[in-house]
């Protein structure tokens, strides 16, 4: 079994889903692993990872509106050390997760035709987010 790990950085925009599929796929390609598992871990608590549709941008806009209603800014949050978007971002990250596992088949991410991996920025300003991409297999 081979193991390959690489850290990548992604610049996000406020409250936006940023497609990182190409960057993660490049790490898988560099790993030279043809069959295995790719785990992506985001090293933050106010952004998350999701696998979602990559064809119709309306899906991403609808999801952004939905999550804003689930954990609204300006709600009655106790934790606001970094501003009014602080605790809502943490609550949203609970729903979007900090890691995703994607099968590797034939040396490529085994995502479906309409799937992409996104970093979902939950804060109201841009950030540079760190992802650890770990690929293991043969």
**C-alpha–C-alpha distance, residues 64 and 36, integer Å:** 32
Q: What is the mean pLDDT of the chain?
A: 97
Does the pLDDT of residue 5 top 90, yes or no?
A: yes
- Which residues are registered as beta bridge partners of 51? 117
pLDDT in tens, 8-34: 999 999 999 999 999 999 999 999 999
> What's the pLDDT at 75?
74
- The string of pLDDT tens digits covering residues 25-70 is 999 999 999 999 999 999 999 999 999 999 999 999 999 999 999 9
Range of the domain at 106: 2-137
pLDDT for position 69: 96
CA distance 48 to 42: 7
**Total structural domains within the chain:** 1
pLDDT at 56: 97
CATH value at residue 31: 2.60.120.460
In 3D, which of 92, 103, 13, 106 has the Cα closest to residue 50? Answer: 92
């Amino acid at each position: 079994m081979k193991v390959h790990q690489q850290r990548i950085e992604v610049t996000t925009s406020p409250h936006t889903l940023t497609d990182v599929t190409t960057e993660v796929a490049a790490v898988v390609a560099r790993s030279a692993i043809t069959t295995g598992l790719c785990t992506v871990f985001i090293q933050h608590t106010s952004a998350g990872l999701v696998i979602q549709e990559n064809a119709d941008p309306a899906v991403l806009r609808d999801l952004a509106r939905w999550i804003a209603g689930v954990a609204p800014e300006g709600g009655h949050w106790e934790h606001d050390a970094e501003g009014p978007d602080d605790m809502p971002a943490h609550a949203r990250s609970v729903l979007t997760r900090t890691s995703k596992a994607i099968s590797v088949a034939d040396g490529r991410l085994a995502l479906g035709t309409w799937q992409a991996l996104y970093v979902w920025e939950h804060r109201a300003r841009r950030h540079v987010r760190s992802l650890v991409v770990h690929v293991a297999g043969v």
